[in-house]
C-alpha cells in the first residue's frame, strides 16, 4: 500500500509515517519501480498500534522501547511497558469520570438557580 493510502487508513500524516520510519519505529518501506514507498499489511498494523499508543499518551521514547522489545521477542519488556501504560490509562479514566461528574453537577446547579 502506498503512503497516501496508509495515511488515510491510519489517520497519520505522510510526514509522521516517514518520521516514524526515520526513528526506527517501523521498518523502512520497500520502494516500487517509481521509487514510492510501499507498506505491508504488517507495517500498517504496527502503525495503527503506534498511533493508538501515541494518542493514549505514550511517549515516542517509550514506544521505541516497546517496539524494540517486541522486535527482539522480549515479551517481559513488552508486557511491563503495556502494564505500566494500562495503569496510567486506568488512573486517567478515573480522573475523567470524576471531572465528568463534577461538571454535570455544576451544570445542574446552574440550571436550577
Flag whether pLDDT at 113 surpasses 90. Answer: no
Calculate the average pLDDT of the chain.
95
CA neighbor of 46 nearest in space, from 73, 22, 17: 17
> How much is the average pLDDT of 93-105?
98
CB 63: neighbour CB atoms within 10 A? 20
pLDDT grade, residue 102 (50/70/90)?
A: very high
C-alpha cell at 76: 517481559
CATH number at residue 21: 1.10.1660.10
- Output the pTM of the full model: 0.85
Which range marks the domain in which residue 70 is found?
3-112
Q: pLDDT tier at 48 (50, 70, 90 boundaries)?
A: very high
* Domain count within the chain: 1
Each residue's pLDDT tens digit, 8-19: 999 999 999 999
What average pLDDT score do residues 4-33 get? 94
pLDDT of residue 83: 98
Amino acid at each position: 500500500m502506498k503512503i497516501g493510502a496508509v495515511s488515510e487508513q491510519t489517520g497519520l500524516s505522510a510526514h509522521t509515517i516517514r518520521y516514524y520510519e526515520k526513528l526506527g519505529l517501523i521498518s523502512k518501506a520497500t520502494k516500487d519501480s517509481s521509487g514510492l514507498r510501499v507498506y505491508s499489511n504488517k507495517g500498517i498494523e504496527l502503525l495503527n498500534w503506534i498511533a493508538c499508543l501515541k494518542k493514549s499518551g505514550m511517549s515516542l521514547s517509550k514506544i521505541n522501547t516497546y517496539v524494540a522489545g517486541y522486535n527482539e521477542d522480549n515479551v517481559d519488556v513488552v508486557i511491563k511497558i503495556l502494564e505500566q501504560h494500562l495503569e496510567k490509562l486506568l488512573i486517567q479514566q478515573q480522573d475523567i469520570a470524576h471531572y465528568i461528574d463534577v461538571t454535570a453537577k455544576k451544570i445542574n446547579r446552574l440550571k436550577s438557580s
